[in-house]
Structure 1
Amino acid sequence: MTEPPLLALRGISKRFGAVQALKDVELEVHRGEVVALLGDNGAGKSTLVRIIAGVVTADQGVIEWEGQAVQIRTPRAARHLGIATVYQNLALCDGLDVAENLYLGREQRRPGALGRLLRLMDKGGMRREARRQLDAMGIRVPDMRTPVASLSAGQRQTVAISRALLGDPKAVLLDEPTASLGVQQAGHVLDLVDELREHGVGVILISHNMGDVKALADRAAVLRLGCNNGFFHVPTTPQDRIISSIIGVTSSP
């Protein structure tokens, strides 16, 4: 019996006032699969990601998780299911160190009265646990006590992705993960995405870089003006055919 998709969107629509941001959008992501979500500016990619991440709620349509219809009305609900999101702006706090950023919003308290009554954070425990999980994923980061403000763009991107991976998510949404990086730094991020696939994680990759898409993606879903405009098997589809779908030269039902 065929396993259902890890994540499936069925007929998703969203309107902001007079603007129809999404209309009857379909998307599927399976375990261990990288799906590139492509489209020009204003195509609806960010809105779709925010719906999956629980930041906004769809007006119509169904979200299925592991074959069951679910409601994702808050980011907490998305995280509870196992969905992690890395936004293009990274949402890091420069004044905090690496470990504090990794556990931002889910800080661990010290055991006993110090944590229960005084609500003191267990910084040592967070650093050790973060290092253990990152080492298991093969992710290299500097000293956990290093302030994020002192990191390079590539290191900051790594910290943002690492934060998403804490808790062993089943699906990860990456919004332009290599947009501001140099060649070497971008290569490391691409290696991380490949590592996620090897661990059975479903990945949605938003990117304007067709080189990244061809190097990583198994399938591509193209949005245009808020609607599906093509699904492609990336390894066997010519790049110019995908680009034609993005810019509207060709269309698919």
Structure 2
Amino acid sequence: MSSQEPLLELRGVHKAFGPVEVLRGVDLTVRPGRVTALVGDNGAGKSTLIKGIAGIYPFDEGEYTFEGTPVNVKNPRDANALGIEVVYQDLALCDNLDVVHNMYLGRELTKRGMVDQDSMEARARETLNGLSVRTLQSVRTHVAALSGGQRQTVAIARAVLWNSKVVILDEPTAALGVAQTEQVLLLVRRLADRGLGVILISHNLNDVFQVADDIAVLYLGSMVATVDRADVTQGQVVQLITTGTYEGREAAATNGEIR
């Protein structure tokens, strides 16, 4: 694990909906320059955890720390103000708008009371170039004409446009072909290489093992392990996802490989 100070830390967070406790004392650490894959079976609590970080479902209990300072994130505006951006699986893009207007949707730049088209286009190009995006021919192309991988690229670029520090990606390669998946995973890696903290939610362990540095496993609302990707096999992660433990875990824990 990197020695850098964490960007985001959760300690002992709980979330319940009525009598149903969805998150039970969850810990999570996200460091700059690292991709943390969040994995777990359906119903493990991944979506609730992410929505809690994003301020959609504020946590009931626990400590939420950002850049070493305890914070109270009550809504998505609070999370955005910290530098936390979420790219949800539905991408929330408008087909009838071009790339520039999708990247600035709801946050348009203005000059003398008018939308500043030139500045928006220049910053959109700068952001895409900074991420080494080469798959878009024009930032004035309508989203309706883009492939699935290109749409995902636009959504990710929009997330980093606002000087974000933590980017959360919800199943970014779902329904993509092999070539498009490779493009998106390269982009995920570039985010971390730029010093951002990246949380990747994915059911695809091949993707996880290709791009993640750390793997955090949720099981029935509890964080059962956070492991360095190099210290586990896919089979062991599958066991953690399905049973909450894996054969040989006690020995690994003794050696400090499981946190």
**TM-score when scaled to structure 2?**
0.91
Query: Which secondary structure does the structure 2 equivalent of 1:169 belong to?
Result: coil
Letter in 1 for 2:223: N
Q: Once the two structures are superposed, what CA deviation does each residue of 1:152-188 show, in whole Å capped at 9, x if it has no partner?
A: 1111111111110102211110110101110100101
Question: CA-atom RMSD, angstroms?
Answer: 1.5
Q: Which amino acid aligns with 2:98?
A: D
> Which residues in structure 2 correspond to 1:30-179 (within 5 Å)?
30-109=31-110, 111-112=111-112, 115=113, 120-140=114-134, 141-179=136-174
Provide the C-alpha distance between the structure 2 equivalents of 1:249 and 1:32, rounded to a whole number of angstroms: 28
Q: Tell me if structure 2 keeps the 8 A contact 1:232–1:242.
A: no
Aligned equivalent of 1:198: 193
Between stretches 24-33 and 76-85, larger displacement belongs to 76-85
Alignment pair present for 1:189 and 2:184: yes
8 Å Cα contact 1:164-1:172 kept in structure 2: yes
Measured against aligned partners, the alpha-carbon deviations of 1:21-47 in whole angstroms (never above 9, x if no partner) come to: 111000001111111101000100011
1:249 offset after TM fit, Å? 5.9
Q: Equivalent residue for 2:11?
A: 10
Q: Which runs of 4+ in 1 moved over 4 A?
A: none
Residues in 2 aligned to 1:106 and 1:74: alpha-carbon distance in whole angstroms: 17
Identity %: 49
The residue type equivalent to 1:107 in the other structure is E
Provide TM-score, normalisation by structure 1.
0.93
Residue segments in structure 1 that go unaligned for 5+ positions in a row:
none
Q: Helix, strand or coil for the counterpart of 1:128?
A: helix
- The counterpart of 1:240, out of the listed 231, 235, 239, is 235
In structure 2, what is the equivalent of residue 219 of structure 1?
Answer: 214
Give the distance between the partners of 1:3 and 1:198, measured in 2 at CA. 14
